[in-house]
Chain A
Amino acid sequence: MAEFVRHAWSVARKDLLVEFRSRTAILSAVVFTVLVLMVFNFGRDPTAVAAVDLAPSILWVTFTFAAMLALNRAFQLELENQALEGLLLAPISRGSIYLGKLLANLIFVGVVEAIGLPLFALFFNVRILPVILPLVGVIGLATIGFVAVGTLFSAMTVRTRFAELLLPVLLLPFMIPPLIWAVLATARLLADRPLSEITGWLKMLAAYDIVFVGLAFLLFPATVNE
């Protein structure tokens, strides 16, 4: 078990190190997030709609697009010099490769979200500090869910012809349920509603995470075995 976690961590560390050395993907993802937030700002009429009413959708559409960028990158990395074959030849289980990839993606998306969230609060003048803890919880739970499915799917789409286009087409139907729950929960939080109103959504998000992390873990070997 300790072995397994250690292997997963070395896969994740490898990905993060490659990312840290080049910094192109993370920088473009952050700039992309800022740009999407700006587009939303110009796309609404501030006199007609209060920022707080639009804020949850803005936040989640931005995070969805940013996560999609990150997920496309996850296995693209391994295409160069047939690195994926090397990874598969390593004496570690397929499960720990999946877990490592998932972990790296989560950290990547998490960093983008950690930068995006304060910017979002700044641009749209939304008070997030009083609800920061539950908000981070909602973001975390939703992110785990769709990054788990996305990591599995990007392992498949990367070897197809229209990888960049196919991933969103496959992944979006799976992202919608957690997104709906996350948007509803975020809206309640930003409207200063009591926490008890969002426990239902949190439970659904947690159930989704458990089901899809488990399933993706079991199915991942089928997507990479030769």
Chain B
Amino acid sequence: MRLLRAGRWITAIGLVLLAGIYVRALAFTPIERFQGPAQKIFYVHVPAAWCAMLAMGLVGIAGILYLLLKDPRFDRFGEASAEVGTVFSLVMLTTGPIWAKPIWGTWWTWDARLTLTLFLFLLFIGYLVLRGAVTEPSLRARYSAVLGICGIPLLVFIHLSVYLFRTLHPQPIVLKPSAPSLPGPMLVTLLMSFGVFTLLYVGFVVQRYALSYLREQLEAAGGTGGGGGGGHA
């Protein structure tokens, strides 16, 4: 299937570029003066967080479009985006403590953004569990659309809470009203990393989308479905 092959190519290119980002971040980007080498994890942590947020946002938008147009493609996209978002939020939640330990002196702190991104992860899990608990496809699509849509305002409240609470988390340094305060080479590395992570997100989602399409075809053809659901393209 063409879509699946395209997804694999995008992912492969993304992975090669990811290796390039590692090389650039480790060897060709200056070491931060106060945090030392530990700050390098920034180039993985922040783009992963961005992809997790992007995934949730797109799950919500897919939900709105599904409820308006009743097109199963949006539901399939929402499912794919939620699964990929779960992976990226897991990356965010594992790299975060690794960075926090040397810098803040603790693996975990109940700081506002940390707490609420943990709940973003749980929201993804809830979305996937809900999909697993409903068997009828159209009901499942509507339910998950509703949950996805509710996720967007929750994200907005997460962002508001960052400004309201005093927190250990750094305030935004790139996306803020004044000019970015990150030094040039670091900013370039960060932006490249954003691009590569987004590319990986697209690659994963396209593959996942193609797989659920194939599974639906298989189920419609009277196959048992379930099982692996993929492997042959």
Interfacial residues, chain A to chain B (CB-CB below 8 A): 149, 152-153, 156-157, 159-162, 166, 169-170, 172-174, 176-177, 180, 200, 204, 208, 211-212, 215-216, 219, 222-223, 225
Question: B67 near A: Cβ within 8 Å?
Answer: yes
Bound complex: CA of A94 vs CA of B23, how far in Å? 57
Question: B160 near A: Cβ within 8 Å?
Answer: yes
Could you jot down 19 A-B contacts, CB within 8 Å? A159-B139, A160-B143, A162-B133, A166-B129, A169-B126, A169-B129, A173-B122, A173-B126, A174-B154, A176-B115, A177-B161, A180-B115, A204-B160, A204-B161, A212-B150, A215-B150, A215-B153, A222-B146, A225-B142
Contact B149 A219 (CB under 8 A): yes
Given A172-B122, A223-B142, does the pair A211, B164 have CB atoms closer than 8 Å?
Answer: no
Partner of A176, one of B116, B143, B147, B164: B116
Q: Which residues in chain B, 98-140, are within 8 Å of chain A measured between CB atoms? A: 112, 115-116, 119-120, 122-123, 125-126, 129-130, 133-134, 139
Given A161-B133, A200-B164, A204-B160, does the pair A170, B142 have CB atoms closer than 8 Å?
Answer: no
Bound complex: CA of A208 vs CA of B154, how far in Å? 9
- Give B146's nearest chain A residue, CB to CB: A219
Contact B134 A160 (CB under 8 A): yes
Q: Which residues of B contact A153 (CB under 8 A)?
A: 147
Partner of B123, one of A157, A161, A173: A173
- Give A184's nearest chain B residue, CB to CB: B165
Contact B154 A173 (CB under 8 A): yes
Contact A160 B133 (CB under 8 A): yes
Number of cross-chain contacts by CB at 8 Å:
75
Q: How many residues of B contact A (CB 8 A)?
A: 29
Contact A156 B143 (CB under 8 A): yes
Partner of A177, one of B122, B147, B157: B157
Question: B186 near A: Cβ within 8 Å?
Answer: no
Chain B min CB distance to A205 (Å):
11
Q: Which residues of A contact B142 (CB under 8 A)?
A: 222-223, 225
Q: Which residues of A contact B129 (CB under 8 A)?
A: 166, 169-170
- Give A161's nearest chain B residue, CB to CB: B133
Q: Which residues of B contact A173 (CB under 8 A)?
A: 119-120, 122-123, 126, 154
Partner of B119, one of A156, A160, A166, A176: A176
Chain A min CB distance to B117 (Å):
11
- Give A201's nearest chain B residue, CB to CB: B164
Q: With A156-B147, A177-B161 given, can you name 18 additional A-B contacts, CB distance below 8 Å?
A: A149-B150, A152-B146, A153-B147, A156-B130, A156-B143, A157-B133, A169-B125, A170-B126, A170-B147, A172-B119, A172-B122, A173-B154, A177-B157, A180-B115, A204-B160, A204-B161, A204-B164, A215-B149
Given A166-B129, A169-B126, A170-B130, does the pair A222, B139 have CB atoms closer than 8 Å?
Answer: no
Across the A-B interface, the 7 shortest Cβ-Cβ residue pairs: A160-B133, A173-B119, A170-B126, A173-B123, A156-B143, A219-B146, A177-B157
Chain A min CB distance to B34 (Å):
30
- Give B112's nearest chain A residue, CB to CB: A180
Chain A min CB distance to B173 (Å):
24
